[in-house]
């Protein structure tokens, strides 16, 4: 699992940071990719990244402000022009369906793939055999959501040494036991999967928040996460501006990470008023409270490693 930061700025594009877009690439699932927010020029950022539009099968929009949304029409159209035919599902607040329908109709853009729009409310919004996604509304002035991506626990490693001692031949029986299925041997013995598997491997948790003031919803979404991606639009001494405009400071993000017990904090959505020369100050403010903190930059990739 890898996070690829395509746009890490706030509000308007800057020379050093484009507006919001983050990709989550499932390296264990044939490279399928989820995109979180889609600010202006996201497709241009993708050209300089490991992301392939044809592999993007879910797009999650946190809210409908332009710096998180205005790149979506281009991504939808280019995915079609590149002859992708696999389905694409969009998630986001109420109004997303109207936006997509309007822009496709007015521009007469035809998509060669099925595109479904799901407007979300707080709770479980997606689940398959491997992953569950929970969202909750944050505090930003307009409906804005954060997403908690929970990878489900996986079976432990197969104890092949134990199976060999029991006289179980390698092959299909090993695969069934690895999948958690009990098997009966030709001689009548029953082999219980739980007795020949190691401890389950804990699934990873990634929390990606939209714009927000400090809120309990963010703490709940981030609880025990391996990675929390949290906006840090302002430095600490500009807390009044953060409150006024519905945003967080570096210190707000660090306190949320500390309270939630996360493993790693990544600061994102940095105001264009700050240049590269300001990053050490932003990082120091957060690390004074939560040492395992990084500042995202456009093009940066971060591997999410399992705790096991």
67 is in an annotated binding site: yes
CA gap 1, 202 in Å, rounded: 14
- CB neighbour class for 155 (10 Å; exposed up to 12, middle 13-18, buried from 19): middle
Q: What phi and psi values does residue 9 have, to the nearest 5 degrees?
A: -95, 170
The number of CA neighbours under 13 Å toward the Cβ of 138 is 29
CA gap 141, 273 in Å, rounded: 22
68 is in an annotated binding site: yes
Please give the structure tokens belonging to residue 138.
């944050």
Exposure class string for 91-126: b at 16+ Cβ within 10 A, else e: bbbeebeebbeebbeeeeeebeeebebebbeeeebb
247 is in an annotated binding site: no
Please identify every residue annotated as catalytic: 67
Residue 58: partners with Cβ closer than 8 Å, 6 or more residues away? 34, 35, 88, 89, 90, 91, 126
63 is in an annotated binding site: yes
230 is in an annotated binding site: no
Q: Which residues are annotated as a binding site for Zn(2+)?
A: 63, 65, 67-68, 140, 211, 269
């Amino acid at each position: 699992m890898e996070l690829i930061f395509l746009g890490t700025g706030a509000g308007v594009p800057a020379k050093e940071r484009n507006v919001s877009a983050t990709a989550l690439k499932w390296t264990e699932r044939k490279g399928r990719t989820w995109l979180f927010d889609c600010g202006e020029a996201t497709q241009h950022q993708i050209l300089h990244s490991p992301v392939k539009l044809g592999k993007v099968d879910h797009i999650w929009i946190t809210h409908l402000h332009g710096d998180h949304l205005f790149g979506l029409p281009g991504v939808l159209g280019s995915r079609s022009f590149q002859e992708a035919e696999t389905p694409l599902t969009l998630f986001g607040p109420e109004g997303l369906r109207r936006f997509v329908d309007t822009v496709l109709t007015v521009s007469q853009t035809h998509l060669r793939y099925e595109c479904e729009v799901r407007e979300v409310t707080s709770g479980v919004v997606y689940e398959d055999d491997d992953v569950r996604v929970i969202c909750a509304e944050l505090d930003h002035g307009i409906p804005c959501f954060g997403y908690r991506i929970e990878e489900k626990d996986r079976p432990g490693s197969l104890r092949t040494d134990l199976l060999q001692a029991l006289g179980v031949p390698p092959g299909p029986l090993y695969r069934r036991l690895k999948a958690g299925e009990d098997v009966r041997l030709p001689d009548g013995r029953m082999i219980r999967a739980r007795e020949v598997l190691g401890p389950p491997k804990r699934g990873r948790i990634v929390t990606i928040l939209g714009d927000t003031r400090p809120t309990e919803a963010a703490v709940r979404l981030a609880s025990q996460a391996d990675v929390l991606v949290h906006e840090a639009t302002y430095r600490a001494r500009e807390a009044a501006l953060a409150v006024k405009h519905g945003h967080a400071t570096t210190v707000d993000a660090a306190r949320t990470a500390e309270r939630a017990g996360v493993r790693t904090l990544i600061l994102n959505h940095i105001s264009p008023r700050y240049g590269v020369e300001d990053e050490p100050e932003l990082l120091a403010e957060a690390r004074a409270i939560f040492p395992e903190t990084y500042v995202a930059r456009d093009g940066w990739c971060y591997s999410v490693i399992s705790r096991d």
